[in-house]
Structure formats: structure tokens, C-alpha cells
Amino acid sequence: MASLPLLPNSAPFRPEEITALNGVITKSTPEQRAWLSGFLAGFQAAAGGTPAAAAPQAPTKKVPLLILFATESGNAESLAAQTRKAAQKLGFAAKVSDVADISLADAAKAENLLIIVSTWGEGDPPQRATDFYKGLLAEDAPRFEKTRFSVLALGDRAYVNFCQTGHEIDDRLAALGATRFAPLVECDVDFATPATAWIKSTLDTLQKETADDEGAVIHVDFARGPAAEPADEDAEPLYTRNTPFAAEITELVNLNGTGSSAETWHTELSIEGSGLIHAPGDALGIVPVNDPALVDEILNITGLTGDALVREALSEAQDITTLTRPQVEAYAKLTDSAELRALAADADALKNWLPGRQVIDLLEAAPTKLDAATLTSLLRPLPGRLYSIASSAKAAEDEVHLLISAVRYETHGRRRSGVASVDIAERRKKGGSLKVYLKPNPHFRLPADPDRAVIMIGPGTGVAPFRAFCQEREATGAGGKNWLFFGNRHFTHDFLYQLEWQDWKKSGLLTRIDTAFSRDQREKIYVQHRIWEQRKDLYSWIEDGAAIYVCGDANAMAKDVNHALIRVIADQAGIDETAAAAKLDIIRRDGRYLRDVY
């Protein structure tokens, strides 16, 4: 490589500044230099100055593009990074930000905006996107008159409110005066192909539409901190759902005692030789394998028992349980059943029919012989399942521990089994293996300050990451206090990792532990009740700077705990619940109220 020109000693800077600038320039990448030259040109223009006497290069013309993402489990974030990479290759000055890190006023300044947003809960935005979402829908939201935009909506067709948040944001931006230059694209769980197509087509369109735009530097101020730039955007994950690592199962124990109605499997996996590096708060993805008995039933009913290839696809590649509206509509067209066709044509009837039903119920409703291609095209790809890592690499080294609750229930007269959890509970054995990949969660981390106190609220399997947190704090000798709220059904059968918590209580690592065993007395007691009972001490921990972590059930628990925290703050601070909710919001924005709920 030819050596880079350096600032001469005659440059209009002091000698130490010339040395410092030359140090930065020689270590910079071509992209950093292009950015810097654009920045300096913009700076000069904004300052109203004349161009420097010996400006070495003309600034590169770049069209600004803001890529926002709203994510819970990281899919939208990684697609945003992918979009930025593609945009930069096309010459855009692309910037990525979590919607949590940008004010609406700054977002409204963007001329070109791509938004990638997932839907959670029951049609809710991801937690960290709540402020942005509420602000956008509020009456006093800023106008987006200058903005061209397009939305990529992530979701799962198995949910009634499919891609709802994406649609709401798309509609609202248009109502606020923004120009939708490309239509919203909905993505189901297999989002890679449609998302890549959206990235390509939106950038192509934008390139054409902005061909005559003046190149500019993006003038977006990230009021709430720096934009979330991926540490190394070129780093590809080592393993993924489709390229997993085969981890040996070194231990598999049901932690629930005899007599328990639950089964929660402590699972130890060896990741030796994988190169996987994880931190407390991360999850491990598992590539599930379908129940062979259900695979047989489906092959029987469709007349495909002799087809080894389709059997293999049904075992590991296709989702043979989840049933969605488009699948009913597609299958109805393949059958002679007038009833099924009528059901598929009646949106309300279908909405009532679907809950609790699976693919097998659809096939049984109108048994029909299918060819292999038709059957596999009816089915969605089988998504991986995530499990919070329950161990710290500092303590468990080459092992990863998981805590997996077996999902079993009955609907419409059929016993149903969770695909991954029951596969592990019933068919996996110590010495066997599981295909895994890492799902980092940079938004659920222990405080950077080892002396900061933490309050961990984790009933059921929600306790898993807190075992990793405690192992980590023990291994690093962190001085901060640790308080655990744990809940489950019965003390005698369901106190997961009981001895470990008790040992940590004895050693002093665990400053406090409060438990709620819901079915040990007549009235149900849950963690939110303990939170309320301990309100005085809890509030004083929060006021002293403790970080609050919540993990586990998203539907009931996380909402009840959130309300309990609001009540505690209202009661102790002597304010009403609206003011207390606002205070909790500030704590959340400070990064001291973190949730990992599912």
C-alpha cells in the first residue's frame, strides 16, 4: 500500500497538534477518512468560514440516511446493522440508532428514514421503544414533513396482532406528513429473505429518489447518548439457527421434587472448542427437533409415510405445530371440504377456531393426500428457541447451563407438548447433544459499576440469568449488594437452585432473598406481593442507586411486577401513581430498570 500523505510541519497547527492529527490519520480506515472529510466540510459550511487554503480533497457527496430500530430480542437490531452495511456500500452516509437513544425531534429531522420494528406482548412495541412509540402517537408529536420513510415490520403470524407496531408506526408517520417512498413489508419468523429484499429494494429506490439531493452531513443529535453502533458490524455470528454448534449434554436434571406439577430441567452443555463467548444476560438458542410421533401422524394423514426426505424436513426444518390463518386458507383450497372452505372464508369464525389448534388439527379437519412439495410449502420454517444462560463463563468455564421448563397442556381434547422443552425433557439424554447458537442480549447486563446494588426479580425460569449474575459477581468479587425475589408454586418441590441461593445467603453474596410460593397457603402469593411487603427497604435500595432486573413471564408477571414497583414508589415517595410511573420511567432510561421477559 502506498504510504499516506501526512500533515506537513508547515500546516497551520501547533507541532503537538500535527503529531496528534497525523497519529489519527495514519490509523484511520478509508471510510473514517471519507466521513471526516465530509464532516469537516459540513463544519466549515455551518461555521460560515471559507474553505481552508490547502484543503487536500473535496468532501465526498453522501446522502444522509437514518436507520432506526425497535427491538426486544435483537432481530431488528441485527437487520439495522445489515441495512447500514448495504447503505454504506451504496454511498449513503448511514447512521443506525435504537429508537430508545434518539429524541423524536431529532428523528423528525431525518430526510431519509428506514425503521425496522418488531411487535411484542399482545401487539405492543418492544419495551425500550415505549417512549418513542407513545411520543409518536401523541397529539403533540413533531411533524415529519421533510422525511421520506419506509418500515420493515417484524412479527410472528401465530400472534393475532401480527406486525401491529410496525403498521401503527407506518400509519402514524404518514399522518405526520412523512412520505412513504416504499410500502411496509411484513416479516414472519423466517424474516431473512423478505428483510433482505426490503433492504435492497428500499435502498435502490432511495438511491434513485435522492440522486439529485445535495450531499450533506447528518445533523442528528443523539440527545440521549450516542447512537447504538455495533461494536464490529462486520463480525458475523459464529453460529446461527442454520449453522449451529453441536454441544454435548453433560448433565440433565429435573430440579422439581417428586409430587411437583412442573418439570424444570437444569441442562448443562459443553461448549468446549466452540469459541463461543457469552456474558451474563445472554441467551442460548436451541435448534429444536419435532416429536417423532407427531411427524408420523402428519406423514400418515397426508399419505407420505414412505418419503424419507420429507420425514427429515418435518423433524428438524419445518414447524409442524404452529398454525396460522394463511395456512388454513391455503389448505382449504387443497381440500374438498366445504366446511373448511367456509371457515377459511370467514375471518371472525377463523379467529375463534384457531386458538389452541395446531397443524395436525387442520389436517384432521379434512384429511387429504398431499405430495411432499405441497406439504412442506404449507409449513413454516421451524424457529429456534431461546433460553437464558444460567451460568457465568467465569464460574462454569466451558459449560453453559440452562433452566428449561417442560411445556405440556391439553386443548381441544389433545395432549400437546412444547417442541423444544419436551424434546429435552423426554428424549434427550446425558451424553447426547443439542444444536445451539448464541443470542447476545447487550440490553440485560450487570451494572458496569461492581459496587452498584442489584435487585433481581425472577420467578420460575426467570431466575436463570440471576444465577449467572450471582456466579459472575462472586467470581469478580463485586462489592455491590444483591437482592433476589424468587417465586414458584411450592417451597418443597419447586424452589429452583434452593441450595445455591442458601449458600450465597450464608456467604453474604446474596444480601437478601424473598420468596413467594403461590400455592403453599390458601390465598395465592406472588413476587409482586413480596415486593409490596418489602416496600420500605426496596425503595431505599432504589433511592441509593440499585438497578432493578426482571426476568420471566411477559404476560402476567412482568405487568404485575411493574405495577407493584409503581405502587411502592408512589407509597414511599408520597406521590400519585402517575408521578410514580414517570419516576420509574426515568429509572428505566437511566438503565436501572431492565427486563428480559418472554
Ligand X SMILES: Cc1cc2nc3c(=O)[nH]c(=O)nc-3n(C[C@H](O)[C@H](O)[C@H](O)COP(=O)(O)OP(=O)(O)OC[C@H]3O[C@@H](n4cnc5c(N)ncnc54)[C@H](O)[C@@H]3O)c2cc1C
Q: Does 292 bind ligand X (CB under 6 A)?
A: no
* Residue corresponding to grid cell 461448549: 271
Q: Which of 149, 331, 387, 469 binds ligand X (CB under 6 A)?
A: 387
Q: From residue 182 to residue 201, what is the string marking binding to ligand FMN with x (rule CB under 6 A)?
A: ---------x----------
How far apart CA 436 and CA 284 sit, in angstroms, is: 7
Q: Does 122 bind ligand FMN (CB under 6 A)?
A: yes
| Cβ distance to ligand FMN smaller for residue 66 or 79 | 79
How far apart CA 322 and CA 305 sit, in angstroms, is: 21
The SS3 of residue 416 is: strand
Other CB atoms closer than 10 Å to residue 284's CB: what's the count? 27
288's contact among ligand X, ligand FMN, none, with CB below 5 to 8 A by partner kind, is ligand X
Q: Does 123 bind ligand FMN (CB under 6 A)?
A: yes
How far apart CA 53 and CA 45 sit, in angstroms, is: 15
Q: Nine-digit cell at 575?
A: 406521590
Piece in contact with ligand FMN (CB under 6 A), picked from 127-135, 154-162, 259-267, 411-419: 154-162
How far apart CA 343 and CA 351 sit, in angstroms, is: 10
Q: From residue 40 to residue 59, what is the string marking binding to ligand FMN with x (rule CB under 6 A)?
A: --------------------
Q: Nine-digit cell at 411?
A: 386443548
Q: Does 159 bind ligand FMN (CB under 6 A)?
A: yes
Query: Which neighbouring-strand residues pair with 593?
Result: 548
Q: Does 256 bind ligand X (CB under 6 A)?
A: no
Q: Which of 151, 152, 304, 420 binds ligand X (CB under 6 A)?
A: 420
The amino acid present at 3, given as its one-letter code, is: S
Shortest spacing between CB 69 and ligand FMN, in angstroms = 7
| Cβ distance to ligand X smaller for residue 181 or 387 | 387
Q: Does 284 bind ligand X (CB under 6 A)?
A: no
| H or E stretch covering 252 | strand 245-254
β-pair type (318-319, 380-381):
antiparallel
Q: Residue with CB nearest ligand FMN?
A: 155
Closest CA to 102 of 140, 45, 62, 142: 142
Q: Does 409 bind ligand X (CB under 6 A)?
A: yes
How far apart CA 300 and CA 307 sit, in angstroms, is: 11
Q: Does 598 bind ligand FMN (CB under 6 A)?
A: yes
Q: From residue 340 to residue 379, what is the string marking binding to ligand X with x (rule CB under 6 A)?
A: ----------------x-----------------------
CA-CA-CA-CA torsion sign (318, 320, 325, 329): positive
Supply φ then ψ for residue 518, to 5 degrees: -65, -35
Q: Does 154 bind ligand FMN (CB under 6 A)?
A: yes
How far apart CA 298 and CA 593 sit, in angstroms, is: 45
Maximum distance among all alpha carbons in the chain?
A: 88
Q: Does 418 bind ligand X (CB under 6 A)?
A: yes
Q: Does 403 bind ligand X (CB under 6 A)?
A: yes
Q: Does 419 bind ligand X (CB under 6 A)?
A: yes
Q: Which of 37, 44, 73, 322 binds ligand FMN (CB under 6 A)?
A: 73
CB 400 within 8 A of CB 251: no
Kindly list the residues in this chain that would bind ligand X in the complex (CB under 6 A): 73, 283, 288, 321, 356, 385-388, 403-405, 407, 409, 411, 418-422, 461, 464, 596, 598
Kindly list the residues in this chain that would bind ligand FMN in the complex (CB under 6 A): 71-76, 118-123, 126, 154-156, 159, 161-164, 191, 554, 598
